[in-house]
Amino acid sequence: MTKESIQKITDKLTETLVRKNQDYGGASFDLGMQGNFVHIYDKVSRLRSLVWNKNSPNFESVEDSLMDLMGYCIIGLHILEQENTSSDEQKIE
């Protein structure tokens, strides 16, 4: 694992997240951290099924599941940042 190999993955993830956010209009943020947790749980369940059961995917591969999982973790960090910023703004008022 090198800085370049990590950058290649994160560049692809960044492009995917930006495109999906444009397509979905930020819907991943609508339900806050609890909704984000549900998305992460679903992805982990999907990944578990692919890896443990060695299911042959019809649609989503192990790579797709891992990329989505990383994406939802990044979205979770954004949600957390928004919640903290909102909380800080309320303290100032």
User: Which residues lie below 8 Å from residue 88, measured CB to CB, with a gap of 6+?
Assistant: none
39 belongs to a structural domain: yes
Separation of alpha carbons 78 and 40, rounded Å: 14
pLDDT tens digits along 12-66: 999 999 998 889 887 888 889 999 999 999 999 999 988 888 767 777 889 999 9
Separation of alpha carbons 7 and 50, rounded Å: 26
Q: What is the mean pLDDT of residues 62-91?
A: 87
51 belongs to a structural domain: yes
Q: Does residue 4 register a pLDDT over 60?
A: yes
88 belongs to a structural domain: no
77 belongs to a structural domain: no
Q: Residue 63's pLDDT is what?
A: 92
43 belongs to a structural domain: yes
Q: Does residue 92 register a pLDDT over 60?
A: no
Domain range holding 34? Answer: 28-59
38 belongs to a structural domain: yes
36 belongs to a structural domain: yes
